[in-house]
Structure 1
Amino acid sequence: MKKTLKIYRDDWREIASLPIMILLLIGLTLLPSVYAWVNIRAMWDPYENTSGIKVAIVNEDVGATIKNKHLNIGKQTVNKLKKNHKLGWTFVNREQAKKGIRNGTYYATLLIPRNFSKKISSIASNHPEKPTVTFTVNEKINAVTPKITKSGVSTVVNQVSNSFTKGVGQVIFSKFNEAGLMLQRKLPLIRQFEDKLFKLEQSLPEIKKIGTKITIIDQNFNDIQKKVQNVSKLKALTPKLDEAIPYLVKVNEQLPVLKEGIDSASDLNKRFTTVKNETDSQLNDILKKMIANIEEAKQQAKDKDRDQLQEIQTSLEELQTSLQNQSQSITDHLQPLNDLVTFNENQWPHLEDSVQKAALFAQNDWPSAQEKLSKAERFVHDELPKAGLLLHKAALAVKNDLPGLEAAVTSTAKKIRDFEKNSSVSQVITALRNDAKLESDFLASPLILKEKKLFPVPNYGSAMTPFYTLLALWVGGMLLISSLKVGRGEIEDSPGGLPFYYGRLLTFLTIGFFQGLVVSLGDLWIIHAYIRQPLAFVLFSIMLSIVFMIIIYTFSSFLGNIGKGLAVILLVLQFSSSGGTFPVAVTSSFFKHLNPFMPFTYGVSLLREASGGIITEVVVSDIVHLLLFPLIFLLLPLLFKNIFQKKPRNKKRARIFL
């Protein structure tokens, strides 16, 4: 340890003895910082200074006419670009744009074609066409500029699209509003339709029955057609009926006379019957008395007189029988009169009423009935076949279409019920009648991007400060090993080279300490980078400078010029694999695999923690990983001490300056 410290003291005595060397060390301390500060300041806020990037705009749009209104969207776009200062928009013709982009005057060109408005307005037609805007970029000029110009042009195109979407949306939602008003006016009709549909659904069984009857009628139509042919026969009888009608009228007129005759016959019958009955009764009584007297006389008379009386009695009895027969004959002859009396009492009123009605019908209704009969005959001959055809079609419809109709009605009714369960026509009307302007604004920009910055860094330069600070520290270490002597040396009485290695390392670490201190303080006070934890940033920078110095010094001390070359190679590899500029995720798999083994990976992360805001577990993890590197490189001389303990040819004390 004493020999190591002695070498360290001798190095600083030598430095102090040479003022020019002091200036050199000051330069070696400041130069890496200047490298970092210049680069950080050069890209301090590049994305806020893009107005100098010239983009040529060529507008050839001639406009279009929609519903007698002229529209030129290309001109509207140009007017918007004149108010947009994110890029250096320059408005030229096609030839100027073509020449300017080739010679580098313009980084990009945007060509709005002649049919731009026409194609956009084609959305109102049945065959809408998308307009094409030609964006040309000269990628030879710069690697980043094409991305910036493309982003700016894309923003403009999106603005045009959003404006168009907003305009179209306002028209559409205005139509929706009108539709809502119409629905509101038609709401009673809609309700009626619903009611009728539900009633139709309820009537489907009855409709099916009617359909069945139609099918049966269609099947029996031939029989019906045969039966209705009787209409023609009935029509043929109308002349005879016409002839009979006058007689019927006359009969009706003679009915009172006929009634009077029938009434007289009835009276006559009654009188005949009365006389007959009285005569029969009187004759029977006389005969009975005479027979009784003869019977009494027979008992008192002699035998001879008795025989005569017997003959008389027999004659009287025969006369009585004859009178009875004659009475019956008279009764039989009076029977038609009795029937006439019965007819007069029972059937005559009905007959009289029927004849009167028939006469009235013949006089009043027969002409119209005759006309209807003629129409019926014409219907049978002319319309009935057509009706049969329609009936057949109806039967086919019942067979083929009624099931589909039934399914459609049932399905529609179910959908209406389901719709009414989840919402209502009133809700639809309310939705349609929303504010058209608000709805179109929403359609053009359906999302509001709420940007929430976690660990915010205000500008690009501050965001790149951790990486360029690390780069400056590594470059500073490489400048030291290139300007100061690094090699195996010893004091004359030294038993080996390990004390020299550690002693000279302390010298380099001291210079590295100041390099880290200067660059971090300059980041804070000279270029005013945003650092949320300044003290931590300074301490982390010093620690990283020491870690890098151990790595670079050991490479050079252990392998000489080869080690210096390895330090350069390691710098190049870390540039792409550490995620300092671009995320490691966008690099190739080779650099992704290198990433966990590079000190820059943890150094960039550590300084970013101090810059944006510290997360303790991240800081601890980064420090632990970083400390592994000096631990490994400090142990290398012990593991390979034979290399460091070889006796040099020159026994003189090794000087620090080349």
Structure 2
Amino acid sequence: MKIPQMIAAEFRRLTASPMSIVALIALMCVPVLYGGLYLWANQNPYANLDRIPAAIVVDDTGADVDGKTVNYGDQVADQLIEDGSFQWHRVAAGSATSGVDDSKYDFSITFPSDFSSALASASGKSPHRAVVTLTTNDTNSYLASTIGTQAAEKIRTSIVKQVNEEAAQQFLVGLADIRSNLVKAVDGADKLVDGAASAQSGASQLADGIASAQTGATQLADGNAQLASGSQQLASKLGELSAGAQQVSDGAAKVAAGNDQLAGKANEAGYAAAKLAADAPAAGQKLIDDLKARGDVDPTVIDRVQAAVTDIDTVVQKGNGDIQTAVGQVNQLAAGADQVASGAAQVADGSQQAQSGASQLASGAATAATGSAQLRDGLGTLHDGSTKLRDGLTTLHDGTAQLRDGLTDGVAKIPDNSPALQKKQASTIADPVNLKNDSITSAGTYGAGLAPFFVALAGWIGIYALFLIVKPVSRRAITALHSPVKITLAGWLTPGLLGAVQMIGLFAIVSGALGFGIHNPLGMYGLMALASVTFAAIILALNVWLGSVGQFLGLVLMVLQLVTAGGTFPWQTLPGPLASLHHVLPMSYAVDGIRQLMYGGNPATAWADAGVLALWMLIALLVAAIGVTRMTHFRTLRDLRPSLIG
């Protein structure tokens, strides 16, 4: 009996009655129903999120921002409803809580009463974070809760972007205002530099003028000292005159000649005193006017100088009057030399008065000398102060120049941006990174992403289901033939061919009815068929060696591969032992190979996956052939017992 004959005999058995045909058709449809229905249900769930009911609660009472009343909670809620990502329902807090609890809503988003004020607090003295409350109920749907969490995070990111953009806009506008004010400050600093230069020049002139006044005051002090000395000598001479008054009365003739000489001297003294009295007021006033013309001289100094000059002038005028009186008397004495004898007593009195006046003149001259010395010393102090003022104004001028240069540098470092550019900069600062998804390959949709896993799983389930009615090996062939290889190949090819037909139907559903894009259709179907026949070889070997127990282990192996194949989550997330099995079990390579061919991945990887599947198939066939060889030569009690399955 040839292999095709054994296969044909098995097909005749499977189609021997209408119920057998129905059972075969039903089992052939298992992969199509399992894989097709599951992938159809999950074809593109993210496109239907707008069907998920969700509640929005806005308790926000608003806040005042820059004199305007804003309500960020209302704004965000309106944006969410307009966006329509979910089936949003704006309700009260109580309705949202009860709605999530009784599954009316999958989740709810709540904006509390202080939401706007918290966002606005970022620019105040007590900034604090705003709170958005996400309420979920995993009894509604765990994935719905997960999606709600992702939606809340997206809302949070959107709010953060908006707040950051407004804050950046305010910062940039403030920076522009600072630049404008700095420009004005630079202009003011220029004027300040010019003013400091003018003040410095004036202070230099003042110092020079005070130095000149100090020189004049020194000369005045020296002149007053000489006047005091001369007036003292005059007083001494008049004393001698008074002492000799009696001798004058006795020697009138001699006195007349002496009086002529005395009159000449007295006239010279009177002329000097008159000139001093005439010049003193003008000199003092000129000194006061010069001090006032300097502008920055301390008024108390000017007052002191004024008082001293006035005292000096008073003394000088009084002394001049006394001198002029004395001179007149001397002249009278000279003119009335003939009357000297008769008026000796009057001459004695006049000489005493002259002596007294000369003493007063000497005293006044001494006072004038002292005042002029004080004036000289005061002008010296004033000169020192004006020198310090000049030096201080020089330092001020240098400082204002540095201030101007620093402000100019500051203006140059602050960019002069237009309002449009400021708005664009604020948007960039708020959201500086734009994620560009540069996919080497792309599944396209969620369903297409799951397709490789469920195609491979459906292939295993389809083969497993076929072995419920397909006999692993022919008992007649084992009895009649002693060719284990032929029996093994016939037992494998029967479910293998049916499995390949199952993959045709499943491939048609995936590429046609569901419309998933397939980069390499021929290669993908080839790998699907290879996976199916490999699974057939594995389940065949289990059945040959263990019978119904092997059939059950095929179910256990399916469950094990379901969790290790990495079809939904990356296999790296598996616990250590399961992650190790990922690299061993065949379904992992079937899933990976189908991904490579369906999404347009690396062909070399797909060939490597196909090689691993082929190796699994050859090893399984070898193990099955060894089991069939044992069965052709030996019989055991297990071989004679009826199987629990089939």
TM category (shorter chain) comes to 0.5 to 0.7
Asked if residue 568 in structure 1 is aligned to residue 555 in structure 2, the reply is yes
Of residues 531, 555, 564, the one that matches 2:518 is: 531
Q: Within 2, Cα distance between the matches of 1:133 and 1:16?
A: 65
Asked if residue 148 in structure 1 is aligned to residue 147 in structure 2, the reply is yes
1:244 is matched with which residue? 228
Partner SS state of residue 29, structure 2: helix
Question: Are the counterparts in 1 of residues 541 and 627 from structure 2 also a CA contact under 8 Å?
Answer: no
Q: Within 1, Cα distance between the matches of 2:120 and 2:373?
A: 65
Partner SS state of residue 484, structure 1: coil
Of residues 364, 368, 371, the one that matches 2:308 is: 371
Question: Are the counterparts in 1 of residues 30 and 465 from structure 2 also a CA contact under 8 Å?
Answer: no
Instruction: Quote the offset at 1:145 in angstroms.
Output: 0.8
Partner SS state of residue 580, structure 1: coil
Asked if residue 479 in structure 1 is aligned to residue 465 in structure 2, the reply is yes
1:550 is matched with which residue? 537
Map 1:231-630; keep pairs closer than 5 Å. Answer: 244=228, 362=280, 364-365=282-283, 371=308, 425-426=411-412, 428-430=414-416, 435-486=421-472, 489-491=475-477, 492-495=479-482, 499-630=486-617
2:182 is matched with which residue? 183
Instruction: Quote the offset at 1:239 in angstroms.
Output: 14
Deviates more, 1:84-93 or 1:173-182: 173-182
Q: Within 2, Cα distance between the matches of 1:508 and 1:67?
A: 78
Q: Within 2, Cα distance between the matches of 1:68 and 1:466?
A: 59
Partner SS state of residue 113, structure 2: coil
Pair 193,4 (structure 1): closer, same or farther in 2 beyond 3 Å: farther
Instruction: Quote the offset at 1:487 in angstroms.
Output: 5.2
Question: Are the counterparts in 2 of residues 496 and 644 from structure 1 also a CA contact under 8 Å?
Answer: no
Q: Within 2, Cα distance between the matches of 1:75 and 1:519?
A: 50
Q: Within 1, Cα distance between the matches of 2:149 and 2:516?
A: 29
Instruction: Quote the offset at 1:43 in angstroms.
Output: 0.7
Partner SS state of residue 415, structure 2: helix
Partner SS state of residue 456, structure 2: helix
Instruction: Quote the offset at 1:191 in angstroms.
Output: 8.2
* 1:138 aligned partner, one-letter code: N
Q: Within 1, Cα distance between the matches of 2:604 and 2:278?
A: 121
Deviates more, 1:38-47 or 1:558-567: 558-567
1:283 is matched with which residue? none
Partner SS state of residue 472, structure 2: coil
Q: Within 2, Cα distance between the matches of 1:138 and 1:242?
A: 116
Instruction: Quote the offset at 1:376 in angstroms.
Output: 9.0
Pair 536,68 (structure 1): closer, same or farther in 2 beyond 3 Å: same
Q: Within 1, Cα distance between the matches of 2:194 and 2:223?
A: 55
Pair 31,363 (structure 1): closer, same or farther in 2 beyond 3 Å: closer
Partner SS state of residue 424, structure 2: helix
* 1:11 aligned partner, one-letter code: E
1:318-344 deviations in Å (ceiling 9; x for gaps):
xxxxxxxxxxxxxxxxxxxxxxxxxxx
Pair 459,434 (structure 1): closer, same or farther in 2 beyond 3 Å: closer
Question: Are the counterparts in 1 of residues 567 and 591 from structure 2 also a CA contact under 8 Å?
Answer: yes
1:160 is matched with which residue? 159
Q: Within 1, Cα distance between the matches of 2:192 and 2:506?
A: 84
Question: Are the counterparts in 1 of residues 7 and 491 from structure 2 also a CA contact under 8 Å?
Answer: yes
Q: Within 2, Cα distance between the matches of 1:105 and 1:43?
A: 22
Q: Within 1, Cα distance between the matches of 2:138 and 2:537?
A: 42
* 1:50 aligned partner, one-letter code: L
1:284 is matched with which residue? none
* 2:533 aligned partner, one-letter code: I
Pair 246,194 (structure 1): closer, same or farther in 2 beyond 3 Å: closer
Q: Within 1, Cα distance between the matches of 2:487 and 2:497?
A: 15
Question: Are the counterparts in 1 of residues 456 and 587 from structure 2 also a CA contact under 8 Å?
Answer: yes
Pair 10,124 (structure 1): closer, same or farther in 2 beyond 3 Å: closer
Instruction: Quote the offset at 1:485 in angstroms.
Output: 2.7
1:463-510 deviations in Å (ceiling 9; x for gaps):
222211111110011101222333573444333755433322221212
1:379-417 deviations in Å (ceiling 9; x for gaps):
999x99xx99xx9xx9xxxxxxx9xxxxxx9xx99x979
1:515-565 deviations in Å (ceiling 9; x for gaps):
122211232233322222222222221111111111112112221122222
Question: Are the counterparts in 2 of residues 490 and 497 from structure 1 also a CA contact under 8 Å?
Answer: no
Partner SS state of residue 130, structure 1: coil
Instruction: Quote the offset at 1:453 in angstroms.
Output: 3.5
Q: Within 1, Cα distance between the matches of 2:435 and 2:173?
A: 27
Partner SS state of residue 49, structure 1: helix
Pair 539,371 (structure 1): closer, same or farther in 2 beyond 3 Å: same
2:346 is matched with which residue? none
Pair 174,379 (structure 1): closer, same or farther in 2 beyond 3 Å: farther
Instruction: Quote the offset at 1:21 in angstroms.
Output: 2.2
Q: Within 1, Cα distance between the matches of 2:501 and 2:77?
A: 56
**Gapped runs of 5+ residues in structure 1?**
200-233, 251-353, 395-401, 403-408
1:594-629 deviations in Å (ceiling 9; x for gaps):
111121111111111221114221122111121110
Pair 192,519 (structure 1): closer, same or farther in 2 beyond 3 Å: farther
Map 1:200-219; keep pairs closer than 5 Å. Answer: none
Q: Within 2, Cα distance between the matches of 1:616 and 1:195?
A: 81
Pair 433,111 (structure 1): closer, same or farther in 2 beyond 3 Å: closer
1:27 is matched with which residue? 26
* Identity over aligned pairs, percent: 21
2:213 is matched with which residue? none
**Gapped runs of 5+ residues in structure 2?**
198-217, 235-271, 288-304, 310-369
Instruction: Quote the offset at 1:52 in angstroms.
Output: 2.1
2:94 is matched with which residue? 95
Pair 61,467 (structure 1): closer, same or farther in 2 beyond 3 Å: same
Pair 463,363 (structure 1): closer, same or farther in 2 beyond 3 Å: closer
Q: TM-score scaled by structure 2?
A: 0.66
Q: Within 2, Cα distance between the matches of 1:35 and 1:99?
A: 37
Instruction: Quote the offset at 1:433 in angstroms.
Output: 7.4
Q: Within 2, Cα distance between the matches of 1:25 and 1:8?
A: 15
Instruction: Quote the offset at 1:78 in angstroms.
Output: 1.9
* 1:244 aligned partner, one-letter code: A
Q: Within 2, Cα distance between the matches of 1:533 and 1:59?
A: 51
1:38 is matched with which residue? 37
Q: TM-score scaled by structure 1?
A: 0.65
1:47 is matched with which residue? 46
Partner SS state of residue 514, structure 2: coil
Instruction: Quote the offset at 1:633 in angstroms.
Output: 0.9
Pair 490,60 (structure 1): closer, same or farther in 2 beyond 3 Å: same
Question: Are the counterparts in 1 of residues 107 and 135 from structure 2 also a CA contact under 8 Å?
Answer: yes
Q: Within 1, Cα distance between the matches of 2:32 and 2:46?
A: 24
Q: Within 2, Cα distance between the matches of 1:139 and 1:92?
A: 21
Pair 357,598 (structure 1): closer, same or farther in 2 beyond 3 Å: farther
Instruction: Quote the offset at 1:366 in angstroms.
Output: 5.4
Pair 371,483 (structure 1): closer, same or farther in 2 beyond 3 Å: farther
Partner SS state of residue 480, structure 2: coil
Q: Within 1, Cα distance between the matches of 2:583 and 2:22?
A: 39
Pair 639,123 (structure 1): closer, same or farther in 2 beyond 3 Å: same
Q: Within 2, Cα distance between the matches of 1:416 and 1:183?
A: 10
